Amino acid sequence: HIEFNEVPEKCLVCSAGKDAFSEDAEAIKKPADADNLTDGDKKHIPQIVIVKECGLIPDGTCTDVHARIGEIEHVMTEDHYIKYLDFYLDYKFISRIWLSPESCHPAAALHLNAPSGKITVVENCNVHGSWMAEADI
């Protein structure tokens, strides 16, 4: 996973030690022109929807975060697919959702116990690398 501020003592996904992390300015792919997205950009940038009223946990403390990969839905074939989506709250890692090609749509949802903050979704395409988007709760 990606760390935005400081490196943790161990990875929250695989438990690797701090020394396993490396800095990579190119870790997140970005469109060449944010005002003129290509179809490739539109298939990789996560789309985030925040729903303040959670349908599953109706006690008033739950916020739903829905993430879909691509304005144009990304393919999910054996050779080209979204491997996982990482979710961050205020730049701190909170969850990874793994996806299986041919069995899943490139989308996921979380039910957060957070009334505010910034959500970041980082997706990883097995062919085109990692892309991200952010939204305020």
The domain ranges of the chain are 29-136
Rounded Cα distance between 137 and 135, Å, is 7
Name the strands in the sheet holding 92-98, side by side, starting at the edge strand that comes first in the sequence: 28-29, 129-136, 118-125, 82-89, 92-98
Q: What is the mean pLDDT of the chain?
A: 91
Specify the range with the lowest mean pLDDT, choosing from 15-19, 27-31, 86-90, 116-120. Answer: 15-19
Please tell me the CATH superfamily of domain 29-136, with its number: SOR catalytic domain (2.60.40.730)
Specify the range with the lowest mean pLDDT, choosing from 13-17, 42-46, 113-117. Answer: 13-17
| For residues 13-25, average pLDDT | 80
Rounded Cα distance between 96 and 44, Å, is 17
Rounded Cα distance between 30 and 73, Å, is 17
Pick from 86, 1, 93: nearest CA to 46: 86
